[in-house]
Chains A and B, each alone.
Chain A
Amino acid sequence: MKSYVLSAAVAAILAGTFLSCGKKSNEIIIGGVAPVTGEAATFGASTKNAFDLAIEEWNGKGGIDGKKLKLAFADDKGDPAEGATVFTKLIQQDKAVAILGPVMSKVALAGAPIAQAASIPMMASTATNPKVTLVGDYIFRACFIDPFQGTVGAKFALEDLKTKKAACIFDVGNDYTKGLSEFFKAKYTALGGEVVAFEGHATGTTDFKAQLTKIIAAKPEILYVSDYYNDAALIAKQARELGFKGPMVGGDGWDSPKLTEIGGAAIEGSFFTNHYAADDTRPIVQEFVKKYKTKFGAEPDALAVLAYDGAYLMFDAIKRAGKLDGPSIKAALTATDMAVVSGQVKFDSDRNPVKSAVIVEVKNGKFVYRATVNP
C-alpha cells in the first residue's frame, strides 16, 4: 500500500509537471478560481460556466492578437488555504497572465496578496468585502461592494415602497449577507426608518421559522432578505406561511432562476437590487442569456453574469495592453470604460466598478425591470 500511494503521488505530480511544460507560445493562459466542491459549489459551478463561455467566445473571435486564450481552472473549495495554494499554482506553475475569480471574499483575501506580489492582475468576480481590492493595485473586482447595495435597497424600501418599519434576516456565517443587512440597517435608520427586527440564522439551516415568527411579531412593513437565492426562496416561503403579507427586498444574490423555482408564489411581488434585468433589451444582455442557456441548459445567475463580465473586462484590458506583462494589463484595466452585461463599467481609485444598480421585481415568475439607481 505504501509503495502504491507513494508511486501514485509521484506519478501524478510528474505527469502534471511534464504536461504543463508542453506549453505552446501561441496561447495566453488565464487563471480561473472558483469553488466547485464543498458547500459553495453551487456558486462555483455557474462561475466556471461563465469563464468557459467567455473564453469560448473570445477564441471564436480569433483570440487576442492571434493568440488563443486557455483557461487554467482551479477549485478553491471555498477554503482560504486552498485558495492560496491554487493562486500560487496558477501563477507559478501554469504561468497565468491574469486571474479571474474567486467567488468568496475570504478566498480572495488569501489569494490577493499572492497575485499582488507576483504583479498578476486579478478580477474577483463576486468578492464583495471592501478590503479585497485594498490589498493592492493589481486587485480588481466586477461586483458591487457591500455598502452600495444595502444603501440602494434601503433607499428603495423607504422612498419607493414608502415603508417606515423594516426587518432584516441574514446568514450569520456569510460575510456577504451579513454585510448587506448591516448596511441596509444603517441606511434605513439614517433616512428615518425603523428596523424593528434584525435576525441572523445559521449557515446551512432550512428552518427559518423561529426567526421569522419573531420578526412578524414585530410587525415590519417590509422584510430585507440578504441571503443568496437558495435560502432567500425558503425564507420567503416560510414567511408567507407564517402570514407575512408585505414585500420582500433582497440583493443580487437573489438573481437565479432557482429563486422562483424554489420560492414559487411566495416570492412574487418581491424586489431585489441587481446589476441588470433579464428583460433588458440591450443586445449584449439578450445574447448572453441566450448563449448561456444553450450551452449549459440553465439560465444564468448573478454569479455567472459577474464572472462573465469580469472575464470580458480582463480580456479587453489584455487586448488593449497589447502586451502580456502584469503592469501593462493593470494599466489597461485601470483605464477601462466598457459596456458589459451588467452595464457600463469604469473603475474607481479603489478598483471597484462604478456602475448603476437596477431594481428588479419578481412578477409572474419572471424578473422584470423596475428602476435604475445611479451610484
Chain B
Amino acid sequence: MAELFSLQQIVNGLQLGSIYALIALGYTMVYGIVRLINFAHGDFYMIGAYAAYAAFFLFNAYIAPGNVLVFIVLIVAMLVGAAVAMLSNKFAYKPLRYKPKLSSLVTAIGVSMFIEYFFSAFPPIGPSPRGFPEVLPKVMWTMGSAQVSNYVVIDLVVAAALMTGLTLLVQKSPLGRAMRAVSQDKDAAKLMGINVEGIISFTFLIGGAFAGAAGLLAGLTYPRIMPYMGILPGLKAFIAAVLGGIGNIPGAMLGAYIMGIAETTANAYNSLLGEGIAFVILILVLLVRPTGILGEKTADKI
C-alpha cells in the first residue's frame, strides 16, 4: 500500500485538485448568488481553453513563448470565458429568474448541450482533439521521490491567488457586500437600492473569467483540448464545491483539493473506485452533511 500515499501521488492529487479548484470557484460563486447549478460552467471552461489556443496562435507570430505571451493568452481566455458566461446569463438564465428554480436547471442543461454540440459541429473547431501548445516551457524538478513540474506550482499559485482575491472581493469590497446581499435575499437587496441584475451579471462575469483561466491552465497541464472536455471536470468541480460547502469560496478550494487527492488515491487503488469515487463522495456528503465541510447551516425557509 506504500505507493498509495507516496509523495508523488500527493503531488498528482494537488495538481488535479488545482484544476478542479479553478472551475469550482466559479461554480460555487454563481451558485452562491443565483442558486443555479450552471451545468454549462464546464463548457465555459472548454471555451476558455479554445480561446487560449486561438490566442496563442494569433499572438505567437509577434511574441515568443514566455511570461508575456502567457499573460496575454490568460487575459484573452478570461475575457472570452466572461463574455460567454454573461451572454448565457442574459439570454438563457435571466428570463427565468423568477420562474421555478428547476426550469433554470433544465435550461442550463440545454445551454451546455448547445455549446458542446455547436463546437463539435462548427467546422473551424470540429470534434477532433487538438494538441495544446507549450505556451510556457515546461521545467521538471525532482523533489525527493517525486517529479514536480513548474505547471503544478503555477496551477497551485494561480488557484490560491484567485481564491484569495475572490474572498477579498466578496468579504471586503462594497461590491462584495452587494453580492452577499443578493445571495441572501434578492427582493430585500433590491429594496436597498442594489442593482440585482447588475450584480448577477457581474457574478457570471467573474465565474466565466475563472472558467476561462481554468481552461488555459488545464490546456497547459493536460495538453489536449476537445469540445466535450468540460463535461467531466465540470461535474467533478461541482461535486468539489458541494463537498466544501456550496457558496463558500475557501470551501470550494478545500473541496477541490480533497477531491483531487481522493480521486488520485482511489485511481491508484483500483480504476472502478477511481471512476466512481467522485459520485460516492457526493452521495456521502449529501447524506451526512448536505451543507458541506465549511458550509453554514441555513434553515430551509418556507
Contact = CB atoms under 8 A, between A and B. Distances in A.
Asked if the two chains touch in their complex, CB atoms less than 8 Å apart, one says yes
A209 B10 CA distance: 11
A11 interface: no
B12 A202 contact: no
A210 B5 CA distance: 10
Contact of A210 (B9, B126, B223, B233): B9
Given A36-B127, A41-B120, A213 B268 contact: yes
A210 B224 contact: no
Nearest to B16: A207
A205 interface: yes
A263 B222 CA distance: 11
A210 B264 contact: yes
A174 interface: no
A45 interface: yes
Interface string A159-173: 000000000000011
B226 interface: yes
Nearest to B134: A264
Given A204-B232, A264-B131, A37 B226 contact: no
Given A211-B268, A213-B3, A45 B126 contact: yes
A233 B130 CA distance: 11
B263 A210 contact: yes
B184 interface: no
B121 A37 contact: yes
A217 B6 contact: yes
A237 interface: yes
A172 B272 contact: yes
B222 A210 contact: no
Contacts of A258: 128-131
DSSP majority for the A interface? Answer: helix
Interface in B265-280: 265-268, 271-272, 274-275
Nearest to B11: A209
A200 B271 CA distance: 5
B224 A206 contact: yes
Contacts, number: 106
Interface size bracket, B side: 35 or more
Nearest to B261: A210
B127 A207 contact: no
Interface in A119-141: none
B149 A209 contact: no
A287 to B, nearest CB: 23
Contacts of B127: 36-37, 41-42, 44-45
A204 B234 CA distance: 12
Interface string B114-131: 000100110000111111
Contacts of A211: 267-268, 271, 274
Interface in A232-265: 233-234, 237, 241-243, 258, 261-264
Interface string A217-231: 100000000000010
Nearest to A263: B131
B8 interface: yes
Given A211-B271, A230-B129, A39 B228 contact: yes
Interface string B214-258: 000010001110111101110000000000000000000000000
A213 B232 contact: no
Contacts of B231: 204
B129 A262 contact: yes
A241 B16 contact: no
A199 interface: yes
B265 to A, nearest CB: 7
A206 B230 CA distance: 11
A213 B271 contact: no
Given A202-B271, A202-B275, A205-B232, 6 more contacts: A36-B127, A37-B120, A172-B275, A213-B268, A234-B224, A237-B223
Interface of A: 36-37, 39, 41-42, 44-46, 172-173, 199-202, 204-207, 209-211, 213-214, 217, 230, 233-234, 237, 241-243, 258, 261-264, 298
10 contacts: A37-B120, A37-B121, A42-B128, A45-B127, A202-B271, A204-B232, A206-B218, A230-B129, A234-B224, A261-B131
